[in-house]
């Protein structure tokens, strides 16, 4: 279904209810519909004056690099084994850490430089409210916490 077809369908449903207003059919656009010309869509040039967009510091803006900054591991269960952990992680976490690699100038070998948060699969966010996003820490992390106790960096 094209956008024009979808708008036409919604418009027809509204007409059956007695509403022929097209001003709010497509957010940020002016839509004109008629039997003679069909569907016409134009950008609403006055749109920005009617909405509030807060100023956000550059470092606070959402971006792929900020997605995992506050993510928790949603797979951990102290009673699970390694296999169960990864099953839970596959179901509950969409992010994981991988190491960025670079060539070591002295040895010529590829070495890890810093961890990078990546998605484990293609994702598309459709929700309009904040949600928690899971990050796979890895079973070794949780096993170390359980066997060695809290990290010396956590007070």
pLDDT in tens, 34-82: 888 888 888 888 766 665 555 667 666 666 666 666 788 889 888 889 9
Distance of alpha carbon 78 from alpha carbon 88, whole angstroms: 12
pLDDT score for 88: 93
Closest CA to 40 of 1, 18, 13, 11: 11
The tens digit of pLDDT for each residue in 71-130 reads 888 898 888 899 999 999 999 999 888 888 888 888 888 888 888 888 888 888 787 777
Neighbours of 41 (CB within 10 A): 15
- Show Cβ contacts of residue 143 under 8 Å, excluding neighbours closer than 6 positions: 82
- Show Cβ contacts of residue 29 under 8 Å, excluding neighbours closer than 6 positions: 41, 42, 43, 44, 47
Strand 95-103, strand 110-119: pairing? antiparallel
pLDDT score for 153: 47
Distance of alpha carbon 112 from alpha carbon 110, whole angstroms: 7
Q: Which two tokens stand for residue 111?
A: 């070495």
Distance of alpha carbon 57 from alpha carbon 52, whole angstroms: 16
pLDDT score for 59: 63
């Amino acid at each position: 279904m094209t956008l024009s077809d979808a708008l036409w369908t919604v418009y027809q449903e509204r007409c059956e209810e007695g509403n022929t207003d097209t001003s709010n059919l497509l957010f940020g656009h002016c839509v004109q519909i008629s039997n003679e010309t069909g569907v016409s869509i134009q950008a609403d040039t006055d749109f920005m004056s009617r909405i509030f967009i807060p100023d956000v510091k550059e470092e606070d803006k959402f971006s792929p690099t900020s997605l995992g900054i506050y993510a928790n591991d949603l797979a951990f269960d102290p009673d699970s084994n390694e296999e169960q952990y990864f099953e839970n992680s596959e179901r509950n976490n969409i992010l994981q850490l991988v190491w960025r690699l670079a060539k070591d100038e002295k040895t010529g070998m590829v070495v890890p430089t810093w961890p990078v948060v990546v998605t484990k699969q293609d994702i598309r966010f459709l929700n309009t409210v904040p949600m928690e996003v899971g990050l796979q820490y890895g079973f070794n992390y949780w096993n170390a916490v359980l066997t060695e106790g809290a990290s010396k960096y956590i007070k």
